[in-house]
Amino acid sequence: MRVPLGKLQRRLPCPRALRLLARLLHEESGQSLLVVTSALTVLTAVAAFGIDASTWMLKHHKAQVVADAAALAAAHCLANPGQARTININGTTTTVPSCTSSTDTTDAQTAAVDYAAANGFTISPTDVNIDTTTDTVTITAPATSPSFFATIARINSTQQQAGAQAAWTSGSTYTCSASDPKQCAAIYAGNQSCPTNNYPSASQSPQPGFQDGNTNGGATPTVDGTVHSEGGITIVNSGPSFNGSPPLTVAGSCYPSYNMPDYGHATASARQSWPINYAASPYFSACSGNCTTVSGIAKVPSYCTQATTSPTGFDFTNINNNPELPVSGNVYCSIGTGNPSDPATWNGPIQIEANDPADGCKSGYPNVTFIGGNISFINQNGGGTSICLAPELYNCLMYSTGNINIYNGTFKWTGNIFDPVGTIQLGTQSAGGESASSSSGMLEGWNVYMVNATLNLTGDGPAGGGVSSSGSGSDSLLH
């Protein structure tokens, strides 16, 4: 009940007490303080939650950027087999594995994981889904954000999850277009020394550069693809067929263009590098932190599936007409006395002597890669030896730090032969017509020497003259 002030004055004997009571009744500053304090508390809580929410949104944005980058990295890997890229992960320059084909989902997943790591996020291969039927990559990038002020409401952390999808169109930047093989590299000889004469010596020691000779029989090569020699070109054979565009080129330091021993085909050219340098990253380079143990040998590059330090290396021979063929899917590393981590030092031999598989080059067509010192495909007992091979890794069939000898039989292959310091020799002067054929491949050697050999070779290397291949793939994000 509200008491009138006049009556209150009459009832209270002390005017001073009355004035004090009236002041207390009309004073509201204390109530204002309570209201302001309560409002500030609410506003502070809202601001705190806002700060946490913005942190969560920023984390989700970063996860989305990572998902996009990882999806594109995997798609690019599948679109461009053999193309290597390097990224920085925690201050260390890292080579991202290149896909060996447009269906190499394992290396594509690794590329996605590495790109996520380079952006400070951890995803696992299970977060990378690759569909080779639709040529799409789907990435899930989970992230956890800790809470600061939201812990008051018992929200200690939040989960963010971003997703991205990318598509690819298959292509290849390290092989030439199959639609125009005459533009593709088929033979490359890297020796820059000029030959001292125009003919192979009687001891079969090849003169520098590319040589085709015939001393017995009538075997002649047919090469669809470019042939280039950094040194001389010597053609003694009576009827070779070089159908590349251009057919043969030689670095012009050895001969003036009007006096090349070239069978009327070769033209002068500028210096060129290895079409594909398999001794460099990402191919068969040395390992450091990514070394592994293979066949009980420590510190071996991870691409090796079989390795040996035996002085006899790998010996695949025909015993009692029972071919001991290499096992498909293996990369045979014959280390010898070399440094296990550095393939450029491996000197272990590899010898293959086997007959044709019973069903020809079908189920008995092993996909293998050989890396070592001297590599020989021979038949010590005379007659013909025949084997069918295809590359398992990086489109390379053989990488030799010694010499490669293929003679006295039929040798069918798909893939490239790389011998950067030695000689690739097909056939012998005493053979009665070496027969070697390839549906696709490339010979890269310090010297390339064909004598008495029938070689039907269609090049699959990059376009001649170091021009990039026209078969590049493409990749893009899907929204």
The whole-angstrom distance between residue 173's C-alpha and the CA centroid of its chain comes to 11
- The strand pair at 136-146 and 128-131 is best described as antiparallel
Q: Which two tokens stand for residue 207?
A: 């003169």
Angstrom distance (rounded) from CA 70 to CA 73: 5
Angstrom distance (rounded) from CA 281 to CA 210: 26
Angstrom distance (rounded) from CA 407 to CA 166: 48
Query: At 395, which amino acid appears?
Result: N
More confident residue, 31 or 166: 166
pLDDT of residue 348: 96
Alpha helices in 80-232, H assignment, sequence order: 105-118
More confident residue, 134 or 293: 293
pLDDT of residue 444: 95
**∠ Cα 416 298 401 (to 5°):** 30
Name 437's bridge partners.
412, 456
Query: At 155, which amino acid appears?
Result: I
- Give one DSSP letter per residue of 296-315, joined into a string: TEEEE-TT-SEEE--TT-EE
pLDDT digits (tens, 9 = 90+) for 305-346: 999 999 999 988 765 454 566 888 889 999 999 999 999 999
Residue 7 has pLDDT above 50, yes or no: no
pLDDT of residue 399: 96
Of the CA atoms within 13 Å of residue 168, those in its CB half-sphere come to 31
End-to-end CA, the chain: 71
Residue 204 has pLDDT above 60, yes or no: no
More confident residue, 141 or 399: 399
More confident residue, 181 or 122: 122
pLDDT digits (tens, 9 = 90+) for 334-384: 999 999 999 999 999 998 876 555 555 665 567 889 999 999 887 654 445
CA distances from 27 to 30, 31, 371 (A): 8, 9, 96
CA distances from 128 to 65, 109, 164 (A): 15, 6, 10
Average per-residue pLDDT in the chain? 75
CB distance 397 to 389 below 8 Å:
yes
**Which residues lie closer than 8 Å to 220 by C-beta, 6 or more apart?**
214, 237, 238, 239, 240, 241, 454
pLDDT of residue 308: 96
Residue-range domain boundaries for the chain: 32-169, 181-469
Confidence of residue 458 (pLDDT cuts 50, 70, 90): confident
More confident residue, 407 or 307: 307
pLDDT digits (tens, 9 = 90+) for 34-89: 555 655 555 555 555 566 566 656 666 777 888 888 888 888 888 877 666 777 77
pLDDT above 70 covers a percentage of the chain that reads 62
